[in-house]
Amino acid sequence: MGAEREEVVLRGLPISKGIGIGFPVFFSGLDEDVSEGVISKKEIEEEIVRYRFALARSREDVEKLQKASLHEGTPEIVAILGTHLEMMQDPLLTSVMEEKIRVRQQKIETVFFHLIEEYKQRFSILQDIYFQERVRDIVDVSRRILNHLRPFGKVRMSEMPHNSIILAQELVPSETIEASSATVSAFVTAAGGITSHAAIIARAKGIPYVANVDIKMLKRVDLAAIIVDGSQGIVIINPTRQTLKKYSEVKRQHAEKYKLLKSATHLKGETIDGYEIRIFANLENPKEMDLLNKSGAAGVGLFRSEYLFLSNRRFPTEEEQFEIYKRMARSLRGRPLVVRVFDIGGDKKPDLLPEERDASRFGNLGEEMNPALGCRAIRFLLRYPDILETQLRALLCASRFGDIQILLPMVSDLTEIRKVREMIEKIRFDLQKKGVKVAKHIPLGCMIEVPSSALMCDALAKEADFLSIGTNDLVQYVMAADRNNPNTSDLYFSTHPSILRLIRMIVASANSSRKPVVLCGESAADPAMIPILIGLGIREFSVAARHIPLVKHTIRKWRILEACRLAEGALEYVSAPELKRYLAAETAR
């Protein structure tokens, strides 16, 4: 075996650095190999009920979609959805399906899988592209139904075998967050941008990731081992012995270098001339607090609280939230814990279980024409204030166990801060009346990630207790370039002159109001960006815990004066490519 397999090198978009070596796992809802799920006689009726439920939910989905398309006046889509609705009432998907469950005594997923395979086979014999396209409608309908059968049917990211190379059409944040670097060696996807949330998570976890690779083609190839080089954007399938040896060596060197950096991470993030830059950690999963405490972080600069339910598929109760915040605050022993309230929307679509109380509110979220400009983050929370109130109450109750600070995402107008402050004061009053102890001062911060708030930062700096610059979204909104779209990634420059000017402006406003400003975003972990950000006056960064050693290492190589000169020089450049060249020449050391 293996003799006829040939080494093939594929080029993609490098997303997360590092070398991953392992075996392919195709990750998707439908095409995964479904085992012969046999059920007992007693379970048959239960299985049928489960299927009917999923089918009813799917119908509701499509009806909702159809209604939305009706408003937008797209008759083709309305017609296609109409056909999908009829397919869901088709005897083959209703009575015949139930009959098959009874006769074969199999799980519905298995029955489904065989049905789809049958269709695929039939149409692939025809060698007719148009006919093969037809299967898509069936696959689409099936996927919708199967999705409603989850989480029972799907292999979860958290249950991957060791040395898995995940091959997927695309990754969503809630799945990526479940991956463990102990089991998942690398990600390879067809779609995905450098700053998508899935990409950020992959980098934070140190899992190599390459996008823009033809996954469908890979499915047709006989695959043994795979090497993923996330630094170069290369995927090598069926590598020869020499290639394997070479990459194993590179991987070992990487690990050693990281270990070396890590051994110095307890040191301060200090410039050569003694200016201290405080480095905080970003956090998605509260279970990673231990790792964070070992990383030399000055505290949690950004806890992305939405991940509490993105992976659990339901909202945590006030009591559950309280316990989590309390535990986190305690384990930080007085160091700050900045909790960003639920940032929902955009590419962070909540995938709540349909029976969840709040599921209906998200019904139309995914259908927005322009989700990045839609009802997300603080806009969503102010629209459904009970979700925010629950979270704020849990935070206030936990505030006496440490230094809890509250951060508002995607603020685009001053009144949003005022509204939340009013809510906090009201909750504080209610709690204190009940005799609950609440910290005297709970700082309320404002994310600067929307152009309007960057332009109004002087007013926001007076209103808020601290500012937090989120460069990922700020760049996307200032450049009007989708961060997930590979065709606009040329425009998505974190080092665009406009961004540098805005950062300088924000720092100046924060300084004149004597409010702290922290920069969190991918640029904060980029060795080429760090000196210029320091030069622009940033004194606090928040990055993924695993990047802290590198960030500190970079800071320790610079003098504050040099950094300021570098920034001044950079502000002279008026186009992105020129600025990029200048930075590359000046920051290499």
Partner 1 sequence: MIVVRKVKVKNALGLHTRPAAAIVKLLQPLKSAVSFTYKDETINARSIMSILMLAAKKNSQITITAEGADAELAVRRLVTAFEEEFGEK
Number of residues near partner 1 (by CB under 8 A):
20
Nearer to partner 1, 35 or 89 (CB): 89
Show the binding pattern over residues 123-162: x = contacts partner 1 (CB under 8 A), - = does not.
x--x-x-xx--x--xx------------------------
Query: Can you tell me which of 38, 49, 56, 92 binds partner 1, judged by CB under 8 A?
Result: 92
Phi, psi for 178 (deg, rounded to 5): -80, -15
Q: In what order do the strands lie in the sheet with 13-16?
A: 8-11, 234-237, 226-229, 19-26, 164-168, 184-189, 209-211, 13-16
- Give me the helices (H) in 89-212, please: 95-104, 108-125, 129-149, 173-176, 197-205
Q: Which residues inside 264-283 make contact with partner 1, applying CB under 8 A?
A: none
Q: Contact, 123 vs 134, CB < 8 A?
A: yes
Distance in Å, CB of 118 to partner 1, minimum: 8
63 contributes a contact to partner 1 by CB under 8 A: no
Tell me the C-alpha distance between 337 and 402, whole Å: 8
Q: Is 83 in the site for partner 1 (CB under 8 A)?
A: yes
Contact status: 99 vs partner 1 (CB under 8 A): no
For partner 1, the closer of residues 104 and 565 by Cβ is 104
Candidates 118-126, 237-245, 347-355, 515-523; binding stretch for partner 1 (CB under 8 A): 118-126
Span near partner 1 by CB under 8 A; candidates 116-124, 304-312, 325-333, 404-412: 116-124
- In three-state secondary structure terms, 273 is coil
* Helix pair 576-587, 560-571: axis angle to 10 deg: 160
Question: Which of positions 385-414 make contact with partner 1 (CB under 8 A)?
Answer: none
- Residue 136 vs 241, nearer CB to partner 1: 136
Minimum Å gap between C-beta 122 and partner 1 is 6
By CB under 8 A, residue 111 contacts partner 1: no
Q: Is 122 in the site for partner 1 (CB under 8 A)?
A: yes
Residue 457 falls in the annotated catalytic set = no
191 DSSP assignment? S
Q: Shortest Cβ distance from residue 133 to partner 1 (Å)?
A: 8
- Cα 488 to Cα 191, 331, 484, 493: the distances in Å are 13, 42, 8, 10
- Candidate list 2, 73, 75, 91; residue touching partner 1; CB under 8 A: 91
Residue 480 — φ and ψ, nearest 5°? 50, 45
- Would you call 520 a catalytic residue per the annotation? yes
What is the distance between the alpha carbons of residues 472 and 406, in angstroms, rounded to a whole number?
20
CB atoms < 10 A from the CB of 78, how many?
Answer: 16
Exactly one of 457, 520, 547, 553 is catalytic; name it. 520
The neighbour count for residue 319, using CB atoms within 10 Å, is 11
Catalytic residue numbers read: 197, 520
List residues binding partner 1 (CB under 8 A): 79, 82-83, 86-87, 90-93, 118-119, 122-123, 126, 128, 130-131, 134, 137-138
